[in-house]
Amino acid sequence: MPKSKKLTAVYALIMDLPLSIVVTIVALALGGNLSMERFIPSFCLAYVLTFFINFLPVGMIGFKFASKHAEDNTFKFGLLANMIIALFFVVILDLVMTAFGVFVAGHGTMSEYLFAVVAGFIPCYIPTLIIAMVWYPVADKASRAICHE
């Protein structure tokens, strides 16, 4: 059964907080720009982006992929589903946040942007996947309790 928009929004607000914090810290650290001055706008951008990404059918795509390769309610199923979901999140975050960091905040070049996108993907993907695996049950349970769904 698909989530209501209200449940999706509340879930996104809970789920995306640690995700946005960690991805922002990793991305800024990789670029050598980890400061509160750079953290705040980058975190806000990440949090808004991740909020809206939750309304894309990435969860359904991850679920369908995992359903083809694992039994429901198993660790393997959760890992496969979250690998796909994390992939979507990180690709979008990597492209947009790197553009913000390189072009807007750093006044960099296209070659710097492309290098940063490639260099930042794996270091951002791994913590995103871990957060998805660990934090999903908490965010799902809390959002359902808040929305009474």
* pTM of the predicted model as reported, rounded to 2 decimal places: 0.90
Look at the block and give the residue holding tokens 């001055």.
37
Range of the domain at 26: 5-147
Residue 78 has a pLDDT of: 95
- Specify the number of domains making up the chain: 1
Residue type, position 100, single letter: F
Q: Are 100 and 115 in contact (CB under 8 A)?
A: no
pLDDT at 1: 61
pLDDT tens for the 149 residues of the chain, in order? 678 999 999 999 999 999 999 999 999 999 888 999 999 999 999 999 999 999 999 999 999 999 999 999 999 999 999 999 999 999 999 999 999 989 998 889 999 999 999 999 999 999 999 999 999 999 999 999 999 99
**How high is the pLDDT of residue 106?**
82
Instruction: Give the 3-state DSSP-derived string for the chain, with helices as H, strands as E and coil as C.
Output: CCCCHHHHHHHHHHHHHHHHHHHHHHHHHHCCCCCHHHHHHHHHHHHHHHHHHCCCCHHHHHHHHHHHHCCCCCHHHHHHHHHHHHHHHHHHHHHHHHHHHHHHHCCCCHHHHHHHHHHHHHHHHHHHHHHHHHHHHHHHHHHHHHHCC
Query: What confidence score (pLDDT) does residue 31 get?
Result: 87
